[in-house]
Amino acid sequence: MPRYIRIIDCIVDTVRNGVSPIEGEIESEIGECGQILQPNGTFITPEPIPIEPQPTLEEMQAQTLLNTEYLVIMSELSNL
């Protein structure tokens, strides 16, 4: 069964096997979702975008406690 891909803005959007192409698809044996089509007809896999680690609940609670203590101290200092 032929393999079809759809490319949007030089990036493979969909890959499927079927009897005939759907509008916007081309027949291709190469190219996977997320790959970038190069001018020479090859595909490359882009470097993953690094994701900043999210703070844990404990870290957020500790930061909230520190912020609260800081505000209390600043308030007490302004009353001197």
Q: From first to last of its 80 residues, what are the pLDDT tens digits of the chain?
A: 999 999 999 999 999 999 999 999 999 999 999 999 999 999 999 998 899 999 999 999 999 999 999 999 999 998 87
- Looking at residue 46, its pLDDT comes to 93
- Domain with 30, as residue range(s), is 3-46+53-78
Model confidence, pTM: 0.58
- CA-to-CA separations, 64 to 28, 44, 61, 76, in angstroms, rounded: 54, 44, 5, 18
Work out how many domains the chain is built from and give that number. Answer: 1
